[in-house]
Amino acid sequence: MALLCIRIAMILVLFLAFSENYGFLRGVTSLGINYGQVGNNLPQPEKVLDLLSSLKLTKARIYDTNPQILTAFANSNVELIVTVENQMLAVLMDPQQAFQWVSTHIKPYFPATRITGIAVGNEVFTDSDTTLLAYLVPAIVSIHGALAQLGLDSYIHVSTPNSLAVLTESYPPSAGSFKTEVSGIMSQYLQFLSSTKAPFWINAYPYFAYKDKPDEVPLDYVLFNPNSGMIDPHTKLHYDNMLYAQVDAVIFAIARMGFDGIEVGVSETGWPSKGDADEVGAMVDNAAAYNKNILRRQFKNEGTPLRPNMRLEIYLFALFNEDMKPGPTSERNYGLFQPDCTMVYSVGISALSSPSSTSSASISLTSSATKVTNMESLVYLKFMIFLTFHVFTRRAYCAIV
């Protein structure tokens, strides 16, 4: 009987391993979304959680440590990256202040709320307030130290999102390099990332490249549509979209600083569905194409040409249109959803228009490869059931004779 139990256990383990690898239990584990709150008509965090859950999105980034959100997201399967506002960096350089901040803003909510990362500031390396840069790395180190004191450093990474403008060269990708004026502090920051295994986050928007030079930048190339792409003359790598080229440019820039193996993720990328007259390309069709194609690539769990076997983690910008954001019209129109939880446009995420009906929504965009592997998993499950039944009946037969 003991041998029979062992056999059954082995069969179940094999099935679980197979289904995990071939998509029976696995979703798009790398896709996240930015949940901004610069609006006066946004839904309550509880409804936002319902929306994310119905869409099967399990990663989100917020731009503060809003206690309402952290409380509402408790005991859910949504992983959160929270943010330290830029104006707090000078204060959090002090290790004692950092410990107090972590004790107040992180520890009371963890682990019920699945906080997986802290973004210290946003685009500090290229901020117009250049005094912030001197505070960045000390604040990052102090916050990480506070996490370590509380035993949380192995669960929560510390990093900072960067604008692509931190690069002085990005084309071709192999020419990627950081601006010389930030190289000293960048080296310190990369050393921290290397030692803690935290990712380098980049806010990358191919939309801006197209908007600035629509006559030179092919629209299909920036939208992930079928196109001839470009070949890096030095690496001979082929790129069929600008986002992956931008990410690889960052990887090359990091390598030029003497660091290798640091993961690069996309903390923000998106496309506006509406813009001013001079914002070329800001329209619904382009926004839908860009985000739909990113979803399609994420279903493949693919990497960039330089790191094809390392899944690229991407956070779409943004969940909602935010009516109080300053700047041009495009700034208020990056959302996949309106504040009432209706879709701005379809990107392969099916949701009913009624906010009360979002529980029936789901990610419906499925590549043919996903359908095939799911069918393979189903066939495999049937085989395992048959095999288990065969073991049982054979054992019973042997006992009778």
Instruction: Report, as residue numbers or ranges, the catalytic residues.
Output: 123, 268
Contact 69, 61 (CB under 8 A): no
368-400 and 2-21 helices, crossing angle to 10°? 170
Which residue, 280, 295, 277, is CA-closest to 345? 295
Mode of pairing for the β-strands spanning 238-239 and 230-231: antiparallel
How many H helices and E strands in the chain?
A: 12, 15
What are the backbone dihedrals phi and psi of residue 268, each rounded to the nearest 5 degrees, phi first? -150, 135
Rounded-to-integer distance, Cα 182 and Cα 113, Å: 35
Phi-psi region of 90 (alpha: psi -120 to 50; beta: other; left: phi over 0): alpha
Residue 309, classified by CB atoms within 10 Å of its CB into exposed (0-12), middle (13-18) or buried (19+), is exposed
Q: What CA–CA distances, in Å, run from 15 to 24, 26, 373? A: 10, 13, 14
Rounded-to-integer distance, Cα 310 and Cα 297, Å: 13
Q: Percent helix, strand and coil across the chain, each rounded to 5?
A: 45, 15, 40
- Identify the DSSP state of 98: H
Rounded-to-integer distance, Cα 232 and Cα 29, Å: 29
Please name the residue that has the structure tokens 């503060």.
64
